[in-house]
Structure 1
Amino acid sequence: MAQKTHDYERESEDFYDHIASRFDHSFDGFLASFFKRFIIKHLKVEKNSRILDVGCANGNLLAMLNRKEKIFGSGSDISSEMIKIAQVKHPNFTFKQGSAQKIPFEDASFDLIICSASFHHFPLPEVFLA
């Protein structure tokens, strides 16, 4: 089972590393943008909330949330290329490369954890939810 999980994560990482520079203009980017607007409309965020976006891609959701209400944003993504883009686009947030199975941040360090348009990529979603 571990090998299958590792292979799936590697495939996801390779795929998103490959499309990172054109993600905003891809079909995935279009769908992600739709979900982000929906989340912004319906999510209640308090000022100065510490928010983690798991599967953050290029960090745009955190930026959109920050325009709605001042937040302290962090993001993680399996793609190192997406993380590089997020760091350039949004230097006021913290971004780390890592798997949703092992989030690269300390436990209990966020007020809110969000995951949009990436949950279906997790090989073991129950590990993420635990």
Structure 2
Amino acid sequence: MNSYSEIAAYYSKFSSLLFNRKDIFRFIEKSFLNFEIKKDYKILDIGCANAKLLFLLKRRGFEKLYGIDISSEMIKLAFKKAVLKGIKLYNLDFLNFFPRKKFDVALCTMDVTNHIPNEKIFDFFKNASTILKKNGILIFDINTKEYLQKLGKRRFVVKKIEDTLLSWKFSLSSKYLKINFSVKEKNGEKVSEDIYQFIYDEEFIENTLKEYGFEVLKKVYDYRMPFKIKFSSKVCYVCKKIW
């Protein structure tokens, strides 16, 4: 899985270009209302990064919040504030996470599922099922196969935020999109890291969910559309663990 170890410090700068947090949080809030997620439910954010989603949930009154991320640098960015807010963070690979008590809800948004290699995707859903209580809720998103293939054809993207130059170089294979992300500051300092987005189609994901005891309760595109269109980039699921 990708660790963002080199570029963690820049995450808050570039993540706004890739993710619309308002749409993500609106989708989660609406799902919580529709499926009666209570304020005292135990909630885990898988791939929590700098824990911004957990801080938003805390402001909405949710009490038992936990985050896990493989990147020690990401956890460091959020740790002090999380401690003050009563949020527990784990610096672990989710596939090696075996808590003593189960969760009511697990969240996994902002491309985290695409970071999981093909040979480990079954283990991911197996562990998601293991850490959830019966009737627990799993909410996650995944980039569509078509969107990743379209990005691969673009080859190169450059953006400038204030004095920071961000660039993405894409290399597409049949199984994944390799993204070389680099950051160059005004003073000439440069860091870069290779990020892999693994390609999964919806039929495969839905069959895997069934295999590990999940029922799909809701499926939308780009956090709000009930049907897929040509430009859909993400498919978003709300699932219940039924066994």
Q: Give TM-score, length-normalised by structure 2.
A: 0.44
Return closer, same or farther for 1:89/1:35 CA change in 2, 3 Å cut-off: farther
Within 2, Cα distance between the matches of 1:32 and 1:53?
Answer: 17
**Count of aligned positions:** 117
Q: Give TM-score, length-normalised by structure 1.
A: 0.77
Return closer, same or farther for 1:76/1:90 CA change in 2, 3 Å cut-off: same
- The CA RMSD over aligned residues, in Å, is 2.1
Structure with the larger RCO, 1 or 2 (CA within 8 Å, 6+ apart): 1
Identical aligned pairs, as a percentage? 29
Letter in 2 for 1:109: K
Runs (5+) with no aligned partner, structure 2: 127-243
Q: Larger strand proportion, structure 1 or 2? A: 2
Are 1:128 and 2:128 matched, yes or no?
no
Question: Rg: which structure is higher?
Answer: 2
Q: Larger helix proportion, structure 1 or 2? A: 1
Letter in 1 for 2:61: E
The residue aligned with 1:113 is 106
The residue aligned with 1:65 is 57
Per-residue CA distance 1:13-54 (angstroms, 9 max, x = gap): 2xx121211211114774163553243432313111111101
- Does the CA contact (< 8 Å) of 2:82 and 2:89 recur in 1? no
- Aligned residue runs from structure 1 range 30-109, under 5 A: 30-31=18-19, 33-34=21-22, 36-44=24-32, 45-91=37-83, 92-103=86-97, 105-106=98-99, 108-109=101-102
Are 1:26 and 2:14 matched, yes or no?
yes
